[in-house]
Amino acid sequence: MPAEITMPQLSDTMTEGTIVKWVKKEGDVLKAGDIVAEVETDKATMEMETFEAGTLAAILVPEGGKVPVGGAIALIAKSGEKAADVKKNAGAKSASLASSPAAIPSPEAKAQATAAAVPAPATAQKAQPLAAKPDAPTRVPPAVASGTYNYDLIVIGGGPAGYAAAIRAGQLKKRVLCVEKENLGGTCLNWGCIPTKALLESGALVRKLRDEKEKWAISFDNFKVDFPKTIGRSRDIAGKLSKGIAHLFNKYTVKHELATATVVGPHKVKFGDKEVTGANILVCTGARARDLPNIKFDGKKIISSREAMTLPTQPKKLAIIGAGAIGCEFADFYSSMGTEVTIIEMLDHLLPIEDEDCSILLERSFGKRGIKVLTKTKTEAVDTKGDGVKLTLTTPKGTETVEADLVLLAVGVTGNVEGIFGKDAPVELFKGHIKVEPNVYATNVEGIFAAGDVIGPPWLAHVAHHEAVYAVEKIFGVSDHDINYKMIPGCTYTHPQV
């Protein structure tokens, strides 16, 4: 019986995908893991692989066709089957699926239908107040932009919040500009979630080959790892996904500028020698690694996760200060590559904000892998004189010294708020982040909104994505769903959590 290639769910919010390009053609011999097509999801354009081996017998959906998650897009003739027979038997199914693009409403059609159901506000009037949770302050978003502004929405930042907001506004047929100073995709895609997982995958493979070869009945001589190529693979994956976002911008007519932007006043944004206006401005500048009062980044011996992802040579010894998710990921990767790792945490356990059972299990695992774990330990000083670094620590047993080639500082993040607002845009900040009101993500300045990591914890890409989409829908009056709330400890406003 032939095997089906089905549309995978490539993101947590994906319900359907579009076949952008077939990488393989009918008649090609496939191995499990081969890339067969490029698929456009709700977030990016991604490669899709097959999990079955055989011959690609029939392509059921042409390029440009839309398919729900789980829907069949091709058939594979497995061992003993003739590809021609499989294709012949699939004729009727192929014909019906080939017409699927017309059967499934496009995002544009959905947006038009949604917009038609919502009364459009008059140009000179403000939109009607939207429903808010009891006891939550409500700011009425400004009306949909008239022709007096260059754009309906200007998004500053192209990360999971910024690009999601820009694409959603584009789907709603708004005039959108996204200003991003680096590659599209933000920290998550370029310097966080995606490339670190690629490094962890490489590290896990190296560890299996080096430490578990007998278990897997593998033998070899002169086992070597090319560290620069391992780093290069991670960078290539991030670069490819960033180009996928650019493709979506082009599809939804989102204008993109590679620049550093400043909100110089209500409805005004400046970048380079240009100044543009927008009815609404959404700030999604994310967050970055923070240092300590007595330990500052120098990018050479005291590094952040960003430098740790692009080191030209592998360190022999690495000290990591901070045992949250970032610190533990890099401890695992560098240890698997053969680096001697020491991880230092002030609190009682690794992953101190997670369940204690998980923390204890991870400590045991790290111990078995030769990672030195120092909890309840404070780093008093880091001496960078000489070839390496020397850390002075206060442990439960007294003072201890640790020597390493480099120190990775992974003690948390702070919002990217410096230089974002001019004197005529006095947006209120709170503990290094932008303060917003619940329900509508509005700041204290009319027409300026913010979403994602720049407004505070939990600093998660999927949360930032949903916040930004929700904010856009609220701004343009097309949202009728609601969200849950959680108060940030010590904060004076409620932070929406999707």
Residue 42's alpha-carbon distances to 171, 227, 418, in angstroms, are 11, 34, 31
The predicted pLDDT at position 99 comes to 42
Return the pLDDT at 147.
Answer: 61
First to last CA, the chain: 43
Of 464, 460, 446, 456, residue with least CA distance to 494: 456
Mean pLDDT by 10-residue block, N- to C-terminus, for the chain (498 residues)? Answer: 83 78 92 86 77 89 88 88 86 47 41 39 32 39 61 96 95 95 90 92 94 89 92 92 88 94 95 94 95 93 95 96 95 96 95 91 94 96 94 94 96 93 94 86 94 91 91 83 38 36
The confidence score (pLDDT) of residue 438 equals 75
What is the pLDDT at residue 148?
86
